Structures are given as structure tokens and as C-alpha cells.
Structure 1
Amino acid sequence: MSNVHVVSHPLVQHKLTLMRDKTVSTKGFRQLLNEIGMLLAYEVTRDLPIELIEVETPLAKTMQPTIAGKKLVFAPILRAGTGFLDGMLNLVPSARVAHVGLYRDPQTLEAVEYYFKAPTDVAERLVIVMDPMLATGNSAIAALDRLKRRGVRDMRFVCLLAAPEGVERLTNAHPDVEIWTAAIDEKLNDHGYIVPGLGDAGDRMFGTK
């Protein structure tokens, strides 16, 4: 699919393999997710618009590039999406942050919203929506729906792992939103988990069950 970007950088793939290992500690998993977040942020912002401004160096005045327009917004889907946040903010420290609180109903697998907070002018900014796992696609679709109701029209979605089913559902629901992921795995199991995957990213990140 033309709107799906698999980030094949060796560092991303190496760190993802480490995260798949069930013996990795909570601390190690969290650190790796933070590091991959930074690397994925580098890829998803590769084509940000730039403009020339005048800068005076110790030697001369010169016209040099800077990012144009309003600062972008990072929008992690709670709770696991926050695992990307520190790494991305390390790369773009001036970015604004929105929070989208969703949980997956264990019976229906549908996303249920419990919290939403975004900058007042979020509709005027590029919004990077993030969640480590794109499984059924329900949470991602609900988050994008919610942001569109606030007027946002320029969004990108970043995840660590995706299932083909989730990619297809998200693409059908929001064909205008491009997807960045480190890998597209084999399938979903009967409980809506990505296989082979890496388990529940939120539980592994926070040490919960």
C-alpha cells in the first residue's frame, strides 16, 4: 500500500528484535521503546516543510533552513503510546502534546474513550498519532476519528508493530492518513493480539498483567 511505510533501518530492526524477546526486563523494554520512538520520529518527519531564515554566524550573515509553520503535535494513545513520547520529544522538544485515552473492551475488542486533551489550535497543526501496536485497528481509528472531530486534517500514524488486518482497516477508514511502522507481522490471533508480535506492549512497558 502506498500510504504504508515500513522502516527498515538496521537500528530499528535490531531494537525491535530485542523487544520481541520475552526475557527482556521492563526497564529494558521501556528503554528500547523510547529509543525506537526517536528513530521513528526521524523517519515520519523527514518531509516537514522548511523555509530560509537569516542567521548571523561569528563570521557572516547567511540564509539557512528551518522548519516552517506551526509546531507539530505528538498524540500518544494512552497508555502504551506514551512509551514513544520521550524519545520523540528528545528529537522535537518544542512539539505540543495531545493525549487520547482509549481502552479495548475485552469482549468486543472495540475502543472505548475515557480521556481526551489537545492544544486549542490542534486543527492548525500536523498531528503525529502514536501507539506501539496496530492490531485490530479499532483504537487507531477511534483516535483519528476523535481528532478529526476537532478539525484536524493533517495526521500521520506511527506504530512499532502492525497486523495486516489492522493496516487494512485503518487504511479503509482513513485513506488520507499515512502509516509508519517497524514491521508488519503475520496475523492476529483469536484474542486480537499480533502474532508473532511481542505480547501486550503496555503490560511489558509498565510491568503489569
Structure 2
Amino acid sequence: MPCHNQPLNNVTTGQEHSLTKHVRFAASSSTSSGAPVVPCAEVEDDVNKQRVNGPNGGGLGTEFLNLGPQLKLLPLNNQILELQTIIRDKTTSRGDFVFCADRLIRLVVEEGLNQLPYSECTVTTPTGHMYEGVMFERGNCGVSIMRSGEAMEQGLRDCCRSIRIGKILIQSDEETQKAKVYYAKFPPDISRRKVLLMYPILSTGNTVIEAVKVLIEHGLQPKHIILLSLFSTPHGAKAIIQEFPDITLLSTELHPVAPTHFGQKYFGTE
């Protein structure tokens, strides 16, 4: 079983994960044709800028590159871009929408699992050989922000068969337009767990901020929260990270326009 839902005495003993930078070219003084090669540091910076500014970043500028290692974006490839395109296309049927959304959710969940603490272990293979590998630390759980966050629950269960999942219901007050918590149900030892907080569309960040405050009230530290999101606006991501500098935010892209129709189309309530 890849993930464990039993409590941890101290979840801070796991390995810390830093933001991986992808360099497409090795460092050297010149190419075979004699043309100069851009140094690795500059290539890394260009890759990060591309993740924010394109192909659909809207020219957001470099201010959002300074959000620190807490912001993690899945490496962009054609598969992810196609899934994003189908989800955003207004002509997409609901069947295709749900299928592609589930695929993208699975990619985000699996990357979220990479952020969980693990320890080294040695197992014996059927042939009697010893194999040195790793196993996740015990004490992980999921929390979905209802209703759209529930779309990500099955993807998490597909990866972690018996993981426990809590729920938070937050809605905007009709008079004040402020996010208000209506319901919260967590495992009793939530304060000792590492939490995968699920919310697919991150727009203003207000709902997530309120959800994190509820988790903090239950004794959980922000550094033990990994926010899983499919689409995020830069301002929403910035608001959350400024409010909780120790939280980890994982998404597939930063874009000023979020597909806010996601929940309605996924659950067929358009």
C-alpha cells in the first residue's frame, strides 16, 4: 500500500523537497557549431519565466517568480497542455471534460505524493535478494474543500487506497461576500498528520485561506499542508503564500483567468 493513514509522532522527520528546476542543455562554452551556449543559471531563469508568462501566462511579469520554493508547478509538457486546453474549451462535452479533468487530477495528486515525507527501507525480493528503497512515513491524510475539491478525492484514493479524507464546506456570505465556514470534519489526530488539501480552482485564494485557518485551529501547522490545485491565478497563489509562508502550493499553471466553471461542469450542475 503506497500511503499510510496511521498517525505520526513527528511528521517533520521526513525529507524536505525543494523546487526542481529543469535545464534543457548542459553547461559548456560553445556548441558544435561554435555558437555560445546560454549558462545553466540563465536557462533555468528562462524556463521559470516561460512557466509564468507562456504559453498562456498572459505576460504576468517576473514578480511572481519571487514566491519562493513553496510554489511548485508541474513541468509543462504537451500532455498537460492538451488537458488544460480541453478543460478550458467551452465546446468540450461533459464526458470528455470529466475524463480529462480526472487525468489532470491524477497527475497533480501523484506529484503531491512526492512532497510527502518518506524514509529509506530494505526489502527482500521473491528471489531472495535485498533491495534498498523508500516508503512513505505514516500519518498522511487528505482534506477536500467542498464541493469542487471532492472531484479530487477519487484520484487520491486511486493512489492511496485507504487514506483518510476530511472535508471543509466554505461559502461566501450573501451580504458581506466574505468566505464563511459552514462545516468541517477531520480525523481526530489531524494535528499530527501531513495534509493534502484539495481545491482544483484557485482564484482569489480567500476560500483556501479560510480553510487553512480552520486546520490551524485544529492544531495543524501550515508547513504540514500541501495544497493541490489544477489551475491557479497568480494573485491567488501570492495571497496564500503571503498569508502562510510555510505552506506548499502545487498547481499545473499560473494564469490570470481561472476556469471557474470547473465545479459546475464536472458535477453536471450547469
Question: Who is 1:168 aligned against?
Answer: 238
Alpha-carbon offset, residue 49 of structure 1: 2.9
Q: Assess, with a 3 A threshold, how the Cα gap between structure 1 residues 199 and 52 changes in structure 2: closer, same or farther.
A: closer
* TM-score normalized with structure 1 length: 0.87
Question: Who is 2:218 aligned against?
Answer: 150
* Match among 81, 85, 88 for residue 20 of structure 1: 88
Unmatched 5+ stretches in structure 2: 1-66
Alignment of 1:173-184 (within 5 A): 173-184=243-254
Alignment of 1:61-80 (within 5 A): 61-80=129-148
C-alpha contact 2:121 2:135 (8 A) present in aligned 1? no
Q: Rg larger in 1 or in 2?
A: 2
Q: Assess, with a 3 A threshold, how the Cα gap between structure 1 residues 108 and 16 changes in structure 2: closer, same or farther.
A: farther
User: Residue 269 of structure 2 aligns to which amino acid in structure 1?
Assistant: T
**Other structure's SS at 2:84 match:** helix
Alpha-carbon offset, residue 65 of structure 1: 2.5
The CA RMSD measured in Å over matched residues stands at: 1.9
* Match among 80, 99, 124 for residue 167 of structure 2: 99
Runs (4 or more) in structure 1 with deviation over 4 Å come to none
Q: Assess, with a 3 A threshold, how the Cα gap between structure 1 residues 47 and 134 changes in structure 2: closer, same or farther.
A: closer
Alignment of 1:115-134 (within 5 A): 115-134=183-202
User: Residue 252 of structure 2 aligns to which amino acid in structure 1?
Assistant: A
* Match among 109, 115, 131 for residue 41 of structure 1: 109
Query: Structure 1: how far apart are the matches of 2:131 and 2:119?
Result: 9
Question: Who is 1:8 aligned against?
Answer: 75
* Identity across matched positions, percent: 25
CA deviation digits over 1:99-152, x for unaligned, max 9?
111123355442121211111111111101111111111110011110111111
**Other structure's SS at 2:148 match:** coil
Aligned residues: 200
Greater strand share, structure number? 1
